[in-house]
Amino acid sequence: MSRIVYVNGTYVPEEEAHISVFDRGFLFADGVYEVTSVLDGKLIDFDGHAVRLERSLGELDMAQPVTKDALLEIHRELVRRNDLTEGMIYLQVTRGADADRDFAFPDPDKVPSTLVLFTQAKAISKSAAAEIGLKVISIDDIRWGRRDIKTVQLLYPSMGKMMAKAAGKDDAWMIEDGQVTEGTSNNAYIVKDGTIITRHLGNEILHGITRKAVLKFAREAQMKVEERAFTIDEAKAADEAFITSASTFVMPVVEIDDVSVGAGTPGPVAQRLREIYLAESMAAAQ
Ligand code: PDD
C-alpha cells in the first residue's frame, strides 16, 4: 500500500504528489522543515515543533502557510490515513514556485508557499542502536552561520554522514573553532563527573526540541546541567556521550574518532535520560 502524503491542501498517494520544477525549495534550498516523532499513534511535542517552525519562517520572512491548529489536524490526519503507530512526520515549507528561476524572493501575495508533509515509519522507542551506542567521527563544521534556522540546506550534514559511513562509523560530530557544535542531525552532549554538558544555544546550533525537553527532565531529576561549548578532546575524555533528536530520542555515543568514551558502552546517565524522556513524552503526547 502506498503512503498518503499531504501536498498543498490535498491528501494523495505518494505517486500522485507533484511539486513544480520552479519550486524554490528545489532550486535554492529556500525552505524550512520539522520532524515530529510519533509514538503509539500520538505526536511527541507538537507544540515545540510548531513554535520552532514559526520562528524559522519568521527569520526568513516566509509566511505561515496554515494555522497551528490546521497543522495539528494535518499531522493527525496523516497518522490516521497511514495507520502510523511509531515513526516521524516530516514537514516542509518552501517559498513556493515563482514563474522563473530568480534569486530575489517573489511577492508572497502572488506566489503561495509550498507545504508538504509525509509519514515515515521507524522503530524509535525500541532501538537496537540504543543498546549498543553510536560510533562517531569528528569533522569540520563548514555550514552557514544561521544553524538555528531549520532550513533544508542539508548537503553538508549529508556529506558528513557519508564520511562517517566511509570510516565504518555511524555519524559525525562537527567542530568549529576547536569546539563541538552538534551532530549532523542531532544535538551533542557529554557527561563528566555526573554533570551533563551540552553547547549553549546560539546561531551555531539548532535549538533542538528534544534537547529542551531532555534538559528540563534532567534538571527535574536533580541532575547537574552545564550549557557550554566543549572540545572534542574533552568529549574523548568524558565518562559518557550521547545525542538527542526527534528521530533518535536520547542515543548513547560510545566512540569518538576511534577512542572509546568511558567504558565504551552506553552509560547510565544516557540510559536513564532515555527512559525518562520516553515515559514523560508518552504521557504528554497529543
Ligand atoms: N534533525 N541539530 C541538527 C543539525 C538537526 O538536524 C536536528 C534534528 C537536531 C535535533 O533537533 P530536534 O530535537 O528538534 O529533532 C539538532 C532532524 C531529526 C532531521 O533532520 O531529521
Claim to verify: residue 134 and residue 256 sit in the same structural domain: yes
The yes-or-no verdict on residue 201 having pLDDT over 80 is yes
Is 150 tagged catalytic? Answer: yes
Claim to verify: residue 14 and residue 105 sit in the same structural domain: yes
Claim to verify: residue 163 and residue 104 sit in the same structural domain: no
The Cα–Cα gap between 283 and 278 comes to 9
Claim to verify: residue 20 and residue 45 sit in the same structural domain: yes
Q: What does the pLDDT read at residue 1?
A: 64
Claim to verify: residue 271 and residue 138 sit in the same structural domain: yes
Claim to verify: residue 250 and residue 223 sit in the same structural domain: yes
- Residues 91-147 pLDDT 10s: 999 999 999 999 999 999 999 999 999 999 999 999 999 999 999 999 999 999 999
Nearest to 202 by CA among 138, 145, 141, 144: 145
Claim to verify: residue 55 and residue 101 sit in the same structural domain: yes
- Residues 137-192 pLDDT 10s: 999 999 999 999 999 999 999 999 999 999 999 999 999 999 999 999 999 999 99
The yes-or-no verdict on residue 89 having pLDDT over 70 is yes
208 close to ligand 1 (CB < 6 Angstrom): yes
Number of domains in the chain: 2
Q: How many residues does the chain have?
A: 286
* CATH number of domain containing 158: 3.20.10.10
The Cα–Cα gap between 234 and 48 comes to 31
Angle among Cα 24, 173, 164 to the nearest 5 degrees reads 85
Domain boundary among 91, 121, 151: 121
35 close to ligand 1 (CB < 6 Angstrom): yes
Domain boundary among 90, 121, 152: 121
Q: What does the pLDDT read at residue 46?
A: 98
Q: What is the mean pLDDT of the chain?
A: 97
Claim to verify: residue 85 and residue 187 sit in the same structural domain: no
- Give the domain extent around 176: 128-284
Ligand 1 atom closest to Cα of residue 210: 13
Q: How many CB atoms lie within 10 A of CB 108?
A: 13
The Cα–Cα gap between 255 and 56 comes to 33
Q: How many CB atoms lie within 10 A of CB 278?
A: 17
Task: Give me 156's grid cell.
Answer: 553538508
Which pTM was predicted?
A: 0.97
Catalytic residue among 42, 122, 150, 212: 150
Of the candidate ranges 35-39, 93-97, 281-285, the one whose mean pLDDT is the lowest: 281-285
65 close to ligand 1 (CB < 6 Angstrom): no
Domain boundary among 121, 137, 166: 121
Claim to verify: residue 219 and residue 105 sit in the same structural domain: no
The yes-or-no verdict on residue 37 having pLDDT over 90 is yes
37 close to ligand 1 (CB < 6 Angstrom): no
Ligand 1 atom closest to Cα of residue 211: 13
Claim to verify: residue 158 and residue 273 sit in the same structural domain: yes
Q: Best of 186, 211, 217, 251 to mutate for ligand 1, by most ligand atoms within 8 A of CB?
A: 186
Claim to verify: residue 103 and residue 192 sit in the same structural domain: no
The answer to whether the Cα torsion of 33, 169, 256, 278 is positive or negative is: positive
Claim to verify: residue 36 and residue 116 sit in the same structural domain: yes
* CATH number of domain containing 85: 3.30.470.10
Q: Could you tell me the distance, in angstroms and rounded to a whole number, from the CA of residue 261 to the centre of ligand 1?
A: 23
Residues 6+ apart with CB under 8 A from 83: none
36 close to ligand 1 (CB < 6 Angstrom): no
